[in-house]
Amino acid sequence: MIKKFISTLFRRSKAAAPVPAPELAPPESVTGRRVEVPFEKHRIDPALIDERATRVVSTLQEAGFEAYIVGGAVRDLLLGHRPKDFDVATNATPAQVKALFRRAFIIGRRFQLVHVVFGRGREHEVIEVSTFRALMEPAEVAPVRGNERTSKAELVGKSHAVDASGRVLRDNVWGPQDEDAARRDFTINALYYDPARQVVIDYHHGIEDAAKRVLRMIGDPSARFREDPVRIIRVVRFAAKLGFEIEPHTRAPMRKMADLLANVPASRVFDEMIKLLQTGHALASLEELRKQGLHRGLFPILDAVLDAAHQHNGREKFIQLALNDTDRRVAEGKPVAPSFMLACMLWHDVLHRWDEIRAATGAPLMPALQEAVDAVFDARIGDISGRGKLGLDMREMWLMQPRFERRQFAAAVTLVEQPRFRAGFDFLRLRGQAGEIDPELSQWWEAFSLADDDERRELVEQYRRDEQARRAAAGPEAAASSEAAAPKRRRRRKPSGGAGAPVSASTLVIADASALGDQAEAPIGPDVSIDSALKPRPIRRRRRPAKDDAGVAVVVGETPPGSSSGS
């Protein structure tokens, strides 16, 4: 059953037979009708609510404002889940909200919000507070030319603005709660919960849709997708994450309006793609994309995933394992770094490009890798915010892989102490599961990382004995060739123009780490990090010459005056 699902997910889709369009019911009144749902009906457990969100609501209410927990948090509470994040909506303006809290910050230009911060460091929590938005009629808004980047001058001082396609560029006109509800995307996200009275405010039958497990867009879906094309991806993400059915009227325009995503900044689409793959239902999300006909051309990195089976041997299995591992970590409440997911998805692309660059130019290891990473980023990810940090984290994981081959005590201890060791090890483990390397290698490193010093020395010694036994069993010729191939310590030499053939990138990942250092202009040894290899060498101090008892300098190799050469 699982194999059938996986093969269906990764094969190229055939042209589907035309399906008659369903009869669509016209949408209800946009603003809806206010309904207060009591505790006896919604049964939200107060124990699932973050005390800091309740504190923000009560502070605003005590100051005379309306305030509610809103959006996805209420949806999750209705489904019996503990929300990951809590948002609050109020009729207080951002400036009024900021004035009520000691650590509050107004953020955003397109959609102005206030972040109320509790705690510090890694333990800090942010409660996002938004002001009720007004429902603007299209005739009231004159479109601007271009987009956020090309029309900055036109957007200055505007509270509400759209581009020529109808996409909202500014949305900072305040209004009443019923209009704010109509501005939200789905009925299940337009719910307002008052923790003091334990009442849910519902304008668009969101509680009913949650009970029926239906995902329904508020208002005219075509107009709502035009306002923000990213909602097309959000429909898929929520349907896969919650296991909801997409209502026909909502689903109908999705495929034909997907081209509008080309007008959205790449960073926003990229962020939504990462969320899609971090829902804890990555494979289900990809299947939903295919089901809705959105699996090609939406974002280049998804093309890399969905075309995996047709580009490199073993790539399909490796990416499947990576996505399953991501889903498992999300289910266990563990964090998932985007850099790890991307490193897995682009691993074979980088290897392939790395090979090409080394073969074509003979470039050293590090410059060739940098060029390969940049080329793959440009092709698969594009110009997004945070690209530099993502690339650095991914390069560290990739460059750890050859260092795992050297199982010597000092080198192994240094590698285990690297800050990114766990990510590099998880990457190694997936390679073993995919059949790229012997799984014994990852098992050895797991044991080594958990052992004390004595146990680690025994693991290294046992590996040495096993290698000697393996060479002996293979015969004297194999042992001799193995010894000849073993890396030897050598002096650093300046690179010469007569360098030999470049080393294949795919060969590098299974080579001894110390051998790699001899093939690069700036060698990376097994006991140093990438950054330390680029640091200047320490200044050496000249040793003072030795002196005899009379204080006379003695040159090494000479016989001190008054000494017998034969003694």
Give, as one character, the DSSP assignment of residue 186.
Answer: B
Query: How crowded is the C-beta side of 356, counted as CA atoms within 13 Å?
Result: 11
Query: Contact, 398 vs 372, CB < 8 A?
Result: no
- Residues 6 or more apart from 78 whose CB is under 8 A from it? 42, 44, 188, 191, 200, 207, 210
* CA–CA distance, 445 with 412 (Å, rounded to integer): 9
Q: Is 426 a catalytic residue?
A: no
- Point out the catalytic residue in the list 50, 76, 87, 178: 87
Phi then psi dihedrals of residue 411, to 5 deg: -65, -40
Which phi and psi (to 5°) does residue 124 adopt? Answer: -70, 155
How far apart CA 19 and CA 16 sit, in angstroms, is 8
CA 402 remoteness from chain centre? 23
Range list of H helices, 43-176? 51-62, 72-78, 94-100, 152-155
Instruction: Name residue, tokens 């040894």.
Output: 525
- Tell me the C-alpha distance between 263 and 257, whole Å: 12
Nearest Cα to 302, choosing from 282, 318, 317, 321? 282
CB 192 within 8 A of CB 181: yes
Catalytic residue among 50, 185, 327, 393: 185
Exactly one of 85, 271, 307, 512 is catalytic; name it. Answer: 85
Which SS3 state, helix, strand or coil, does residue 361 take?
helix
Residues 6+ apart with CB under 8 A from 279: 237, 240, 241, 285, 330
**Nearest 5°: CA angle at 296, between 293 and 298?**
95
Q: Is 85 a catalytic residue?
A: yes
Q: Is the dihedral of CA 153, 154, 157, 159 positive or negative?
A: negative
Which tokens in the block code for residue 283? Answer: 């494979």
Is residue 452 part of the annotated active site? The answer reads no
Nearest of 17, 13, 79, 1 to residue 286 by alpha carbon: 13
Active site residues: 85, 87, 185
